[in-house]
Chain A
Amino acid sequence: MTSPSASSRKTLSKIATNRLQKELMEWQVNPPTGFKHKVTDNLQRWVIEVNGAPGTLYANETFQLQVDFPEHYPMEAPQVIFIPPAPLHPHIYSNGHICLDILYDSWSPAMTVSSVCISILSMLSSSSTKQRPNDDERYVKNCRNGRSPKETRWWFHDDKV
């Protein structure tokens, strides 16, 4: 089986390690507001606590993001999912997969964990309804054997949220 999650289990390249160490250092000095990196000794998987922004539907709620880095980060996008229970959001599936273009097709190596986190929080903050995507059940069933969201062919059709 060759799934992207398998490739992400490959050890990080030298350049990926170096960059992640620097990103982590920068994060510690200047973390994005609303986020907390949970300290582990695993550079390849970050678990990040997200606090819903006050004044939004997710105020006072806390979620966890899991960020897995592929061997060739940052040339390849990290895999970012919510650890269930994921926030109720029209673009977030109950298995934690997030439909957000910058995590897939629109990833650019100029982005960082921090900038991705901010994008995710603003996606949450701009939501006007707390609901799952229409195809949640079908999608989650399809992913049952631990498929990575990076394998999904996403359609980014909704500009509104």
Chain B
Amino acid sequence: MGNKLGRRRQLVDEKYTRPQGLYQHKDVDHKKLRKLILDSKLAPCYPGDDDCSCDLEECPICFLYYPSLNRSRCCTKGICTECFLQMKTPNSTRPTQCPFCKTLNYAVEYRGVKTKEEKGQEQIEEQRVIEAKIRMRQQEIQDEEDRMLKRQERSSSSRITDPNEAEYFSRAATSSSEGEEIVSAPNVATIRHPPRPRDNRDDEFDLDPENIMLMEAIWLSFQEDGKHQRHNPNYGDAAQLAKYATEVRVLASMAPQPEQPSSSSSSSPSPSGGLACAIAALAERRQIGGGESSTNYHNYTGNTSTYNIMHPEHATSLNTHLQDSHWDNNNNNSNNNNNNSHEQQQQMVESGTRFGYDDGGEYGGHDEMENGYGNVNGGIVPESFEEQMMLAMVVSLAEARARSSSAPEVAWI
């Protein structure tokens, strides 16, 4: 109701029409500020709350919680009025940049308390972030396994492999499109790693509940994706499989390298790690399969490195350049798609620090999911809900391991 009218004059307590003393504001036009707040053009200066009780939003600058925030016009990130006043220095000659996306002429608008849709949208975004984070971890594990496999190969045959891994990977990327099998074989093997025997599962419940919740959220979003991808063709085609395997491999090359691979137990491929990879790979596959355009693929690659996700400053040339050089290894269209990956980053910057967990979600979409995986992978995805949850927990365990083995997250090869 009120939303339709847009700018209704809200009753704001007089005391919230001026700063609460969060900062020592200079040059604030109190009269103007009061008018803007009374006209609902800026959020009222409620005193920020230290803890997140009930339905409050956190201002990403002062880290305090408010009933509602202003939104930047450029990237709709929230900011409380008092922090906004700090950003806008009226006497400065330079146009103010958005602190989140660096767009010039930073401006905010106030839309009142977030609507249900907005909150839902945010939750979806946050889920995607979580998904991406897990994918990274999975890539790490998979990368580790790939290296193990390669090492085994190397030691069994006397073939000398180029020690320069980056080169190796990029060569693989080009050669396999012609259907060559060198790199794809071990990958397929990894993807089809058999599930861990059920009797071991008790050990796996000794997990941080947060991890489990995370995994559930991810699982949910996989299912969510599945709903949009009913019309996927199956993936039986061998050439496609090979191509896909290479894609995974290329991505793996962007993931970090293990420390001293043969020295410790942490580098030995664990069954659950393999399964985790399998699940991650399945999910990835569906994404790749679903998006026929290279854009989709790009967004997805953009998520693979921690750096991209967490770097708040997507506008630095440093970042852009690194990315470009990376894209060039896999894809020549990189420049066309930069905007896209940037957008993605932007979206992740803030939400990356917060983990959303959608506890109101439903576990539907089961049928679609099976269809989505197609006949190739039918053997891996369990049918019952219980088993699915088991899988999710296995992934979670793998993630916990990845964390505890302190595998690096950033590695530019």
Contacts and interface: CB of A to CB of B under 8 A. Distances in A.
Question: Binding site of A, secondary structure by majority: helix, strand, loop or mixed?
Answer: loop
Which range contains the number of A residues in contact with the other chain?
35 or more
Contact of B410 (A33, A108, A160): A33
A74 interface: yes
A118 B64 contact: no
B258 A54 contact: yes
Contact of A118 (B86, B257, B306): B306
Interface string B96-127: 01011010000000000000000000000000
Given A55-B256, A101-B316, A108-B312, A122 B408 contact: no
Interface string B287-325: 000000000000000000011001111011110111000
B83 interface: yes
Nearest to B258: A54
Nearest to A127: B412
Nearest to A23: B63
Contacts of B322: 122, 126
Contacts of A60: 259
Nearest to A91: B318
B408 A126 contact: no
Given A33-B306, A55-B411, A160-B321, A115 B311 contact: yes
A9 B350 CA distance: 30
Given A53-B411, A106-B313, A122 B307 contact: yes
Nearest to B313: A102
B357 to A, nearest CB: 15
A34 B410 contact: yes
A3 B258 CA distance: 43
Contacts of A74: 61
A149 to B, nearest CB: 17
Nearest to B24: A13
Contacts of A101: 313, 316, 318
Interface stretch (A14-22, A62-70, A133-141): A14-22
Contacts of B100: 108, 110
A126 B63 contact: no
A59 B165 CA distance: 15
B307 A33 contact: no
Interface string A110-125: 1110110011011101
B409 interface: yes
14 contacts: A18-B50, A33-B306, A34-B408, A54-B257, A55-B257, A55-B413, A106-B102, A106-B313, A106-B316, A108-B100, A108-B312, A110-B60, A110-B61, A115-B310
Given A18-B62, A101-B318, A108-B97, 11 more contacts: A23-B63, A33-B408, A51-B408, A53-B408, A55-B165, A60-B259, A102-B316, A110-B312, A112-B353, A119-B318, A122-B410
